[in-house]
Each structure stands twice: as structure tokens, then as C-alpha cells.
Chains A and B, each alone.
Chain A
Amino acid sequence: MYVSKTGLAVIAAAYVAVPLLLGSNNYVMSLIVAAMIIGGIALAWALLGNLGGMVSFGHSAFFGVGAYVSALLTMKAGMPIFAAMLLGGVGAVVASLVMLPVLRLKGPYFALAILAYAHIFKIIATEWSSVTGGSAGLASVPRFPELMGFDLSGKTGSYLIILTVLLAFVAAYRAIRASHYGIALRAMHDSEDATRVVGVNSTLLKALMLFVSAFMTGVVGAFNVHYINFLEPDYAFSGLWVTLPIVAAIFGGYRTILGPLVGAVTVYLVDQLIFKSLIPSGHQLVLGALLVAMIIFSPGGLMPLLRKDSRRKHAAA
């Protein structure tokens, strides 16, 4: 897979420079990890929106199911964490199966239906208390292990894990987008009939994108539970796990692969480090205003804006 020099430099900086420069600052590292968790969901959400043409308000379900599956597998079955995280993703895919009937719906109807479905899982997690611990939740979920003497459960270790997860997501997204499926999905966007009459099974392709998106979100949810070590239904299925990523994805540009990640890091860090210190309560207001401004002035989000800028610089040089 082609990776540009800038891309390589960013990856190297993310793996080496960030831990070296900021690793000792637990507060900043925890903000970065939180931003990357949002970014992971944002990327998965945007993949469904960009390739599948679907707007989902139900991703908190995948996040929560991934978290519960991974937590329970490690706690009750003693499964190794990384295997359990992958199965957390699989669990989210299974959860997405019940959403298949709503794939036939379009636009706002799909969005509403998936929102309703998402609620079901929260109820299950609350009521099925013999397994999930009910509304009291699960305490002391296993932490990330040591790897060759390096403690992965710390802020820096967790950062490296989520970074690796996100890079894998980016690579997968790129591969899907470049494949024939990806081209057909792009085609379906504005010309579904034209695409179907040449033999594209549009429902199947959308379902596949829902599975991929659910899997990614489930893995992020699983990462999060081992990172924070506890879980309760209100937290795991909180609407924030979908609204913040949507803001991040739209801010960064949901039609691009990196936009949601850049958006999440920008939005979250700017909000927490700058606005929060300026306006301790109600700082989210500024974010809302910024998002509205972004949608008005650059509907494609931050990424097209950055690119336009660099193109202009190139032209001037």
C-alpha cells in the first residue's frame, strides 16, 4: 500500500516523538488517548456515511457491545485481552445484524430506526444483571498486560495500542475504498438505480459497510474498557459515544479517511485545553459554533480546507 513521505513522517512522529515529548505528562496523554478513542469511532462512523451513504446515530450500541463482550470474555473466560478486543468487534457485528432490516430505510428514517435499536442494547446490559452486573456495572476489568517488560496499561502504552488500532483502521478503509466494492459504493451514492441495474447488490454492499463500521467501533469500545477498567450501561451506551464522533467527523471532513481523526484530535484537544480553561462551564458552546461555521464555510470539513491551502502554497511556490 502506498504511503506518502509526509504520511511516514507523521506515523514516525506519532510512534516516537509523541511518547518521548509528552509521555511524562499524564494529563495531556490521557486527553490524546480520549481524542483518539473519539477519532476511532468517528472514522468508523464516517466509513459508513461515506461509503455506505448512511447516517447512524446508533454507534454507541456498537461501542457498548464491544466493551461488554471484551470485558466479559477476559473476566469470565480468562481470554487474553487482544483476542477479546477482536471478539468485541465481532460482537458488535453480531449486534449490527439486528439492524439489517432497517438498511432498506433511507435518510432520516434509517437514522431514527438505528437510534431506537441502539437503545435495546443498553436495556439488555442493564437488565441481564447475572452476566453484565446490571446497572452497577463491572469493576476491575483487566488492564492491558506487560509486553517485553513494557507496561502497556499506562497512558503511553495505551496510547501506542490505540495508535496501532487506528492505523490498522486507516489501512483497511483505504483498501476498501480502492477496491471494486469501494468504487461501486461511491457510485451508489447519487445513482443507486444505475448502479443496481449493472448488477451491484446494493443492500449487500451496504450491509458489509455496516459490519465493518460496527466491528471497528466495537474494537474501540473494547479498547476503552480495558483502558479505564470499569463498565456500566449508562456509560458504555452513552449517546456521547456517537455525538462527539459525529461532530469530529463532520468537522474534519467525513468524506475523507483522515478527516475524522484530524477532526477528533483537533476538536477534543482544542476544547479541553483551550476553551475549557477560558470558559469552564459551557465551553461546548464554542464547539457548536465552530461546527456551524465549518458547515457553512467548508461543508467538506477541515481536510478539504487544509488541502486547498497547501495547493495554493504549491501554486505560489
Chain B
Amino acid sequence: MLRLEDLSVRFGGLTAVNTVSLSVGSHEVVGLVGPNGAGKTTLFNAVSGLVKPSSGRILFDSVDMLRTPLHRRARMGIGRTFQVPQPMHELTVRENLIVAQRFGTGAVDARKIDEVLDFTNLTDKAERHAATELALTELKALEVAKALATNPKLLMLDEVLAGLETNGKRRFMGMLKELHEKFAVGILIIEHDIETISNLCHRVAVLNFGELIADGTPDEVFRDPEVMKSYTGASDA
């Protein structure tokens, strides 16, 4: 469904993503791991259209994304969350989802919005002001809810579990697993926690200094000494 071919993103002299080739099949759950600054979020930004790749290709359902304007990518089925939650300011939770649904799918279906609210445990907060009246867990849930409201085929989750306490994390994990089944989406998830990744993902890709250094099942990848070196080295720092 998503295929990156030799994708590079350079900012001036810095190569944030360096000739990365990677694919995510429909209904596949792929983990994207690597130390901070490895280029994971930049890769998300390139796929969703917020940054322009310097070279390489991004294909989504065989359509060239580099010729597809940012706003049309949501309509095609690319949904994402932001690491630092970005609720749409000035709007209520429900209005956030209405905007996402109306512009991400082209139609408004109140029942579907209620379903997403219910699924993300935000029904009680639906009329709350999104930017000021939500706790972190709820903001993270809203990130997922906004993406779901656009009816995505691919959901890119950027550290949705980070910063949550253990219980919240467990509940969120349950939600993500259920989401994969219920909404029939493929998932590309950035996450630091190895246990979470092993638990959730069919496949793991590892980025280090912008380069893809491993791509395989969680078992294979987390047994690779080079991966573990980059990984533990970074978490110690």
C-alpha cells in the first residue's frame, strides 16, 4: 500500500532521511524505531506532505505522492498523528472530528463520528474545547480519533504511547490492537518501547542517522546486535 523508494530528505547540509526504501502492506502493522533524531518523524512528514523529499519516491496505492498535494493525501487514505498532540485550536473535540471527516472523506456522517468518539473514549469530552480542556491521554486519543475520522487506509502513529502512565499505556495498546481489526487499517507506528513494538507489530524497521539499518520481524530485528547497539546507545544518552 505504501512504498518508499530510495527516499531522502535533506535540510541544508543535514540528511535527515537517507535513501530509505520501505513498504507497508494493507492491514500490516509496521514499527518504526530508532534513536532520537534518526529521521522517523521526518519520514512521516514526507509521507503526509509537510516536508518535501530531496530525492526518491513515495507511492501510495501506486500513486506518486510527490505529485499529490498535501490535502489530497488524507482523502486518499493517509492518516497520521503528531508526537506532540496538535488538536485544532478553538474547536471542540467533536468539531475537530467534523473537520477531519468533512475534508478527509468529503462527507459528514454523524454516526461515524459518534462511533469514533466512542472507540477512543472521548464521548464524554465531545463538547469540550480540545486545546485547553483535555488531559494528555485524551489529547493523544484525539490525535488517533482525528486520523480515524478521515477514514484512513494507512495510519501513521507518532509516539502515541509516549508520556502515558502504565495503565493508560495498557488501555491505549488495547485500543490500537482493536483499531487495527475494526477499522481495517495498515499501521506504521513510531515507538521507543521494544515490548510495545514486539507486542503490536508484524514487522519492524530500524532507522539510525537517517538510514534504514534493519527491516524484519520483531524477533529477528531485536536480536541483531547492531540494532541493539544503536538502540541502547541512544537510550543511555
* A180 x B71 contact (CB < 8 A): no
Taking CB atoms and an 8 Å cut-off, the chain B residues in 48-84 that contact chain A are 48-50, 69-75, 79-80, 82
Residues of B within 8 A of A196 (CB): 49-50, 70-71
Residues of A within 8 A of B95 (CB): 183, 187
Please report the C-alpha to C-alpha distance between residue A202 and residue B79 in the assembled complex, in whole angstroms. Answer: 17
* A193 x B71 contact (CB < 8 A): no
Q: Does B150 contact A (CB under 8 A)?
A: yes
Q: Does B146 contact A (CB under 8 A)?
A: yes
Q: Does B160 contact A (CB under 8 A)?
A: no
Q: Chain A, 189-203, contact with B by CB distance < 8 Å: what is the 0/1 string?
A: 111011111111110
Tell me, rounded to whole Å, the shortest Cβ–Cβ distance linking B212 to chain A: 24
Please report the C-alpha to C-alpha distance between residue A184 and residue B99 in the assembled complex, in whole angstroms. Answer: 6
Q: Does A119 contact B (CB under 8 A)?
A: no
* B150 x A191 contact (CB < 8 A): no
Residues of B within 8 A of A188 (CB): 88
Q: Does A186 contact B (CB under 8 A)?
A: yes
Taking CB atoms and an 8 Å cut-off, the chain A residues in 155-193 that contact chain B are 180, 183-184, 186-191, 193
Please report the C-alpha to C-alpha distance between residue A186 and residue B96 in the assembled complex, in whole angstroms. Answer: 10
Residue among A188, A198, A200 with most chain B CB within 10 A: A198
Please report the C-alpha to C-alpha distance between residue A195 and residue B97 in the assembled complex, in whole angstroms. Answer: 11
**Closest chain A residue, CB of each to CB of B143:** A194
Residues of B within 8 A of A186 (CB): 88, 90-91
- Number of A residues whose C-beta is below 8 Å from B? 19
Give chain B's interface secondary structure class: helix
Residues of A within 8 A of B79 (CB): 197-198
- Number of B residues whose C-beta is below 8 Å from A? 34
Please report the C-alpha to C-alpha distance between residue A188 and residue B89 in the assembled complex, in whole angstroms. Answer: 8
Tell me, rounded to whole Å, the shortest Cβ–Cβ distance linking A103 to chain B: 14
* B149 x A191 contact (CB < 8 A): no
* B96 x A199 contact (CB < 8 A): no
Partner of A200 from B71, B89, B147, B149 at Cβ < 8 Å: B71
Residues of A within 8 A of B88 (CB): 186-188, 191, 194-195
Please report the C-alpha to C-alpha distance between residue A195 and residue B146 in the assembled complex, in whole angstroms. Answer: 10
Q: Does B119 contact A (CB under 8 A)?
A: no
* B99 x A201 contact (CB < 8 A): no
Tell me, rounded to whole Å, the shortest Cβ–Cβ distance linking A250 to chain B: 19
What residues of chain B have their CB less than 8 Å away from a CB belonging to chain A? 48-50, 69-75, 79-80, 82, 86-91, 95-96, 98-100, 102-105, 108, 131, 146-147, 149-150
What residues of chain A have their CB less than 8 Å away from a CB belonging to chain B? 180, 183-184, 186-191, 193-202
Q: Report 26 cross-chain contacts, Cβ distance below 8 Å, ordered by A residue.
A: A180-B102, A180-B108, A186-B88, A187-B88, A187-B90, A187-B96, A187-B99, A191-B89, A193-B50, A194-B86, A194-B87, A194-B146, A196-B49, A196-B70, A196-B71, A197-B48, A197-B49, A197-B70, A197-B73, A198-B104, A198-B147, A198-B149, A199-B73, A199-B100, A199-B104, A200-B103
